[in-house]
Amino acid sequence: MSVTKIFSDLIINTWGWHITSDIPKEIKKAVVIVAPHTSYCDFILGRISFWHMNVETRFLIKKEAFFWPFGLLLRKLGGLPVNRKKAGRLTDAIARMYDDHESLFITITPEGTRTLVQKWKLGFYYIAVTANVPIILGVLDYENKRGGMKKVFYPTGDMKEDLKEIKRFYEGVNGKNPERSKIFY
């Protein structure tokens, strides 16, 4: 058992959370979305939760955060720097990354920020469709102290209907700051 697994199990148990993965082991590539994203605490709890579930995941973060020495830590934790000003090409570039890996999970928060938004950013959906990988629906429900990777969703290409189903999944899930967690698209 790795040091990160021991550490994460201890933290999850001490904090009283129940974190599980309901994802079949044969799934090796996916876009993982985690919602609602309402606090800096989501990153810490999320990272510890992935270690607890023995899931190696990468995450996208604005390139401006990769300054010395913080950038080294972000890369070690799985961070992938992105230039948010090149949105269209960025989505295609991320989708192509799946071709270069035998196993790849990229975690995205669809809100794109911790503040209340009127509309989710839909890059996660476009990446999954372009890369032909499923979307794993992940949660951190602070009210019930439950979380993890809960559902595999295969996009059909009918974005409007797919997003309705994804929205239904997240109904009743409460972020750390529930006043910031409305799901719009």
Give the global pTM: 0.85
Say what the alpha-carbon torsion angle 160, 163, 168, 169 is, to the nearest 10 degrees.
160
148 pLDDT higher than 70? yes
d(C-alpha 97, C-alpha 90), whole Å: 11
**Rounded mean pLDDT, 29-37:** 89
Q: What is the mean pLDDT of the chain?
A: 87
Q: State the DSSP H helix or E strand holding residue 183, giving kind and residue range, or none if neither.
A: none
Question: Tokens 């972020």 identify what position?
Answer: 175
pLDDT tens digits for range 149-174: 999 999 999 999 999 999 899 888 88
pLDDT at 171: 86
Q: State the DSSP H helix or E strand holding residue 131, giving kind and residue range, or none if neither.
A: helix 123-131
- How does residue 185 score in pLDDT terms, banded at 50, 70 and 90? very low
pLDDT at 13: 95
- How does residue 93 score in pLDDT terms, banded at 50, 70 and 90? confident
67 pLDDT higher than 80? yes
In total, the chain counts a number of residues equal to 185
In the chain, the percentage of residues whose pLDDT exceeds 90 is 52
Which CATH code for domain 3-180?
A: 3.40.50
pLDDT at 9: 96
d(C-alpha 159, C-alpha 8), whole Å: 36
